[in-house]
Amino acid sequence: MLRPVRRIHHGRTSPEQKNRYDKNEIKVFISHRESKCDECGEELGRQAWITLEENKGALCLACADLDELVFLPTGDAALTRRSKKNSTISAVVLKFSGARRRYERQGLLVEENALEQAEAECLSDSEVGERRNERARERRAEFDEEYVREFAKRIIQLFPKCPEGREKTIAEHDCLKYSGRVGRSAAAKSFADEAVTLAVAAHVRHRETNYDGLLAKGWARSDARSEVRNRVDAVLEKWGD
Ligand SMILES: [Zn+2]
């Protein structure tokens, strides 16, 4: 049985509570049975990466707002430590070992720029380049070029003042999010205004507000979303006209 993740739920946390964050660090489980996301309803299959929320069940990483993070497997302690330190939000990835009857740490989910910074600090230039190329290759393999192009075009139509290049970042992220999911081809055909706006709002929340910092402090998603809602709306309005 997976146990629910304990998170601090109420309001701002006091400095005394700060040293408790590690115990409350966000946990991602590699499921060992069939899973379904309780929020979006997506069938995730076996070996899915999920989080558990109190009063909900399993959540996919997209619904848990952790899908912008990249995975760093365990193995290099210095790189792990630096990446975590550089990252506003991170999550430990655990997998159940049947033989040892306990969860074992597989690695860490961190922000990509935090990982890149840590790599630059810990590794040789050639290793840094190699790792960067490898991530780009993996990503490209999952891209649907037409989807990205069309989605980016819709973003520009709805948010003409969106800073240059962001439309591509948002469209690529959306494409990866639905990679391997049945919904992607259907979504690609319509690109409903609402879906585009949701994708842009999610990007704004992560990049233009302290939302990730609040999650990292243990805020519940709903509280953190309410906290940054006005700021998100203001940015969307600015980009929109
Ligand atoms: Zn979901």
Q: What is the pLDDT of residues 58-91, one digit of tens each?
A: 999 988 999 889 999 999 999 999 999 999 999 9
Distance 29 CA to ligand 1 centre (A): 14
Residue 228 Cα to ligand 1 middle (Å):
21
Spatial neighbors of 122 by CB under 8 A, at least 6 apart, are 76, 78, 79, 82
Distance 124 CA to ligand 1 centre (A): 38
> Distance, CA 169 to ligand 1 centroid (Å)?
21
Residue 161 CA, ligand 1 centroid: distance in Å:
30
Residue 17's pLDDT is what?
Answer: 37
pTM flag (> 0.85): no
Is the sign of the CA dihedral 18, 202, 64, 223 positive or negative?
A: positive
| Statement: residue 10 has pLDDT above 50 | no
Most confident of 8-17, 33-42, 139-148, 171-180: 33-42
Q: Which residue has the higher pLDDT, 136 or 85?
A: 85
CA dihedral 163, 165, 170, 175 (to 10 degrees): 160
Mean pLDDT of 85-109: 93
- pLDDT score of 179: 62
Distance, in Å, from the CA atom of 5 to the CA atom of 132, rounded to the nearest integer, reads: 32
pLDDT of residue 187: 56
CA of 139 to the centre of ligand 1 (A): 21
By three-state DSSP, how is residue 49 classified? strand
Distance 237 CA to ligand 1 centre (A): 27
Q: How far is the CA of 62 from the centre of ligand 1 (A)?
A: 6
In this prediction, residue 193 carries a pLDDT of 86
Q: How confident is the model over 17-49, as pLDDT tens digits? A: 333 345 568 999 999 888 999 988 888 888 899
pLDDT exceeds 80 at position 113:
yes
For 141, counting Cβ atoms within 10 Å of its Cβ (0-12 exposed, 13-18 middle, 19+ buried), the class is: exposed
- Phi and psi of 148, rounded to 5°? -60, -45
Task: Give residue 18's pLDDT.
Answer: 39
